[in-house]
Amino acid sequence: MSASSTRTGRARPPIARKAWRPVRAGHGFVAAYCVLLVAFGVVPTVYALKFAFTDAGAHFAGLSNFTSAADDFRFTPALEHVGLYLVFWLISLVVLVVGLSLLLHRMAAQGVSKALRFLYYIPGALAGAASVMVWLFLLDPTVSPVGFLLRAFGYDTFGEVIAPGHLPILFTLIAFWTGAGGWIVVMYGALNNISPDILEAARIDGAGAWQTARSIQIPLLRKWIVYMVILAFAGGTQLFVEPQLLSQASTGVAGRDYSLNQLSYDFAFENNNVNTAAAISVELLVVGLVVAGIFVARSGFFDAD
Amino acid sequence: MTAKVRALRAKVQGRGRRRAGFLAAGSALLLATLAACGGGTSTGGGSQGFSPVKQTGGKLTVWVDSSRLAAAKLYQKENPSVKMDIVTYDGDANGSNYLRTKVSLFNRTRKGWPDVVFSSQNNETSWAVQAGFTAPLNKGLIPSSTLAGWAKGANDPCTVDGTVYCLRNDLAQTVLWYNTALMKKWHYTVPTTWEQYEALGKKVATEHPGYLVGSAGDPFTPEIYMWPGKCGANNVTGPKAVTVKATDANCKRMASLLDTLVANKTLSTSSVFSSDFDKNAAGKLLMMPGPSWYGGSLFQSTFKTPAHQIAVAPTPQWAGDSSPATGDVGGGTWLLSAHSTNLKAATKFLTWVTTSNDYQGKIAPGYPAYAPAAKAWLANQAASGYYANDITAPLQKAADQVWPGWGYGQFSQEAIWAATVTPGQTAGKSIVSLLPAWQKAIVNYARADGYTVSQ
């Protein structure tokens, strides 16, 4: 913005150059992105598709890999686990992220907002696996700094904390703690983009905080929320690090074969069946794409305002 | 606005098409590469098919767990001319499958295999032979005179169709560890049958509440109790065949014994390696059935139990059973890579690490599987004066009594117990009531690994 305004101030700038330079920069960025997309997105996808439709001898196998995945005794439970986790994770994400960023926005005038934004963001700065490790300590009453809280709930041992019924909630907690902070900052940015005139007009019309949020801010945030849900859904269906690390920390008591991604991992490395593993990852890809498609289509995500 | 959007879309599509063309070309190339390099994924080596790769020497890559790190370091110290790359990993403990995962990846990339690997599991041959990872050892690499030195049956888990594919590091025969000071003080006698063991547990619960007669909170609990109790949950009858009878009379009998002692709190339900156990239970052990390595690894180094207290007795038996049985908790193995470009140095290290008195006789925490080293190890243990009685006789005897009705399958019994029985136990269910679920889980995992299951 400031660059273009200084440039217009200059005497007779070369027109072609002015139009060309940002385009070239754009191409540069997109090209770098494309290289990464091809290397780490498209090539592995093609690789997975090839494996999903062939057998160990690389002959076309039709849908047999998909049926053998679905027939496995771990498949249906894993599907249920991931489904339940998604319900908890998506609802808590949308409600709490939107709520907290609205709060943050209201407090913008006061100094605490900056400090809070920083606080929300810190956990997100830790790499995924590392932040899960933090939780493994938090959840063990004998070493946890919040052990008194766990004991207050009646959990005296790690085993009681990680009982099978608690897992969806625990994974939601971990995922929220590690991932929501970034989204709060994004939503806060989006809220700042809403013209103060609109909010001013609403206030003059007598709208309170609740009404402003419901009728103006949330509708204007809709696209951001959709965007968040699409990415969170894709991330949620691919649940892996949390249960896998928990399984290792608990010597296999909880979290083994918990999610579809883990099942895919087990097929590849435990049962030496890369083809069925690929079939599961292709299923996850298809589910992610379909859900994203529905959300995009229903929300008018790409409509220009 | 719609016109604008449509124009944009057309533009995007045009670009998309171009990109798609590029991708198609790229993926065709990729597929061609795959077809050339991929191919044999599970066409294992088989017992006859071992032909060493070109021996180019270079660094000797050795993978060990933290307990075996001392062995590799000592070898490096004694042989400074050997270039070694020592890597520590989790040793596949509790069925972690790290080695299998990595080998499967190395088999795809056709490089990266370590030359020699230690694994704390003794079922590695069940997959490693098929994956073509392990080199046959009794076909020229290690003289049969050396192989004859292993304890009877010690290399059974390493042997497939008469070919030895790994060497047993240590035996993990179960015995009954007990605290002589407490036994004497309270005038108890060491139980020789499971019935006496249970009775003593009940007595302790009323006379000295808080004290323990064992632990049932580890993934290897079935190997300490179910195995010597002759429970038929894991009868591996062939390379890909298993008979699972996890609800038979012996399993039920042992499960109800465990339930009784868990209920009266004389059996801990925490893992012996947990911070909880170390803090609350380690000082309150009257006795504890467990493998031979409990002595060095647990009592001496983890719990720091004072000397002259811990003693060893034979594993209890069912009353009236004339053929004594013990269990086996791990007992690691050493594998030699069939892909090694440094077979001579690798074999030399492998032989040293499994047989030498310098390591196995003096430093090793567990009972050496190589008999001459075991003798030196036992003499050393006796000389150290840590134990309150002579541990030689009961350990030697137990080594020959490992019950053969429990096998070494590809599926991890430890992982299955941990995921099926432990959470139920934590939720307050009895082990007896969990036996059908345990049975079902073993059958499922065995089938998933391609086993034919009889029930």
Mean pLDDT of A221-230: 90
Of A38, A140, A254, the CB nearest to B26: A38
**Which chain A residue has its CA at the smallest distance from B444's CA?**
A73
As a CATH number, domain B174-327+411-454 is 3.40.190.10
Whether the Cβ atoms of residue A258 and residue A248 lie closer than 8 Å to each other: no
Whether the Cβ atoms of residue A151 and residue A92 lie closer than 8 Å to each other: no
Q: A interface toward B at CB cutoff 8 Å?
A: 34, 38, 42-43, 46-47, 50, 56, 58, 72-74, 140, 142-143, 157-160, 163-164, 248, 250-254, 256-257, 268-272, 274, 302-304
- Residue B15 confidence (pLDDT): 39
Shared domain check, A21 and A134? no
Shared domain check, A192 and A93? yes
Q: What is the pLDDT along chain B (455 residues), one digit of tens a residue?
A: 333 433 333 333 333 333 444 444 444 444 333 333 333 333 333 444 578 888 888 899 999 998 899 999 999 999 999 999 999 998 887 667 789 889 988 988 899 999 999 998 888 888 899 889 999 999 889 999 999 999 888 898 898 888 999 999 999 999 999 999 999 999 999 999 999 999 999 999 999 999 999 999 899 999 999 999 999 999 998 888 999 999 999 999 999 999 999 999 999 988 898 878 888 888 899 999 999 999 988 998 889 999 999 999 999 999 999 999 999 998 899 999 999 999 999 999 999 999 999 999 988 888 999 999 999 999 988 888 899 998 999 999 998 899 989 988 888 899 899 999 999 988 889 999 999 999 999 999 999 888 999 99
Number of structural domains in chain A: 2
Shared domain check, A272 and A129? yes
Query: Which of the four pLDDT bands, split at 50, 70 and 90, describes residue A180?
Result: confident
Q: Which long-range contacts (CB under 8 A, 24 or more apart) does A137-145 make?
A: A139/A170, A140/B275, A142/B274, A142/B275, A142/B276, A142/B279, A143/B275
CATH code assigned at A176 = 1.10.3720.10
Tokens of A281: 């990852």
Shared domain check, A94 and A140? yes
**Cα of B271 to nearest chain A Cα, Å:** 9
Shared domain check, A75 and A31? no
Shared domain check, A276 and A179? yes
Indicate yes or no: CB of A269 within 8 angstroms of CB of B101.
yes
Shared domain check, A159 and A43? no
Cα separation, B50 vs B44, in Å, equals 10
DSSP letter (8 states) at residue A213: I
Of B104, B274, B422, the CB nearest to A272: B104
Indicate yes or no: CB of A163 within 8 angstroms of CB of B35.
no
Whether the Cβ atoms of residue B431 and residue B236 lie closer than 8 Å to each other: no
- How far lies B169's CA from each of A259, B151, B220, B335, in Å? 36, 11, 18, 10
Indicate yes or no: CB of B274 within 8 angstroms of CB of A270.
no
Average pLDDT, chain A: 85
Instruction: Using an 8 Å CB-CB cutoff, list chain B residues near A43.
Output: 26-27, 30
**A19 or B315, higher pLDDT:** B315
Indicate yes or no: CB of B427 within 8 angstroms of CB of A252.
no
Shared domain check, A84 and A141? yes
Cα separation, A73 vs B252, in Å, equals 26
Q: What's the full length of chain B, in residues? A: 455
Query: Which of the four pLDDT bands, split at 50, 70 and 90, describes residue A18?
Result: low
Shared domain check, A226 and A157? yes
Residue of A270, A273, A296, A305 to mutate, testing the B interface (most B Cβ within 10 Å of its Cβ): A270
**Which chain B residue has its CA at the smallest distance from A300's CA?**
B5
Indicate yes or no: CB of B97 within 8 angstroms of CB of A42.
no
Domain that holds residue A22: 14-52
The percent of residues above 90 in pLDDT, for chain A, comes to 38
Shared domain check, A72 and A46? no
The ipTM is 0.78
- Inside any domain, residue A1: no
Instruction: Using an 8 Å CB-CB cutoff, list chain A residues near B262.
Output: none
Q: Which residues contact A244 (CB under 8 A, 6 or more apart)?
A: A255, A262, A265
Shared domain check, A92 and A166? yes
Interval A117-130: pLDDT, tens: 788 877 777 766 77
DSSP letter (8 states) at residue B301: I
Residue of B105, B274, B438 to mutate, testing the A interface (most A Cβ within 10 Å of its Cβ): B274
Whether the Cβ atoms of residue B296 and residue B312 lie closer than 8 Å to each other: no
**Cα of B25 to nearest chain A Cα, Å:** 12
pLDDT at A1 over 60: no
- Residue B309 confidence (pLDDT): 93
Lowest-confidence range among A84-88, A264-268, B23-27, B263-267?
B23-27
Shared domain check, A220 and A99? yes
Chain A with chain B: Cβ pairs closer than 8 A: 103
- Inside any domain, residue A7: no
- Residue A19 confidence (pLDDT): 57
Which residue intervals of chain A are DSSP H helices? 2-9, 15-37, 43-52, 64-71, 75-106, 112-125, 128-138, 147-152, 158-161, 167-193, 196-204, 209-212, 218-237, 241-249, 260-269, 274-299
Nearest to A81, CA basis, from A234, A237, A231: A237
Tokens of A165: 């019924």
Q: Domain residues of chain B, as ranges?
A: 60-171+330-381, 174-327+411-454
CATH of the structural domain B60-171+330-381, one choice from 1.10.260.40, 3.40.190.10, 2.50.20.10, 3.50.50.60? 3.40.190.10
Q: Which of A27-31, A247-251, B105-109, B260-264 has the highest mean pLDDT?
A: B260-264
CATH topology match: B60-171+330-381 vs B174-327+411-454: yes
Question: HSE-up of A68 (CA within 13 Å, CB side)?
Answer: 22
Indicate yes or no: CB of A157 within 8 angstroms of CB of B419.
no
Three-state SS string over A133-202 comes to HHHHHHCCCCCCCCHHHHHHCCCCCHHHHCCHHHHHHHHHHHHHHHHHHHHHHHHHHHHHHCCHHHHHHH
- Inside any domain, residue A5: no
- Residue B22 confidence (pLDDT): 40
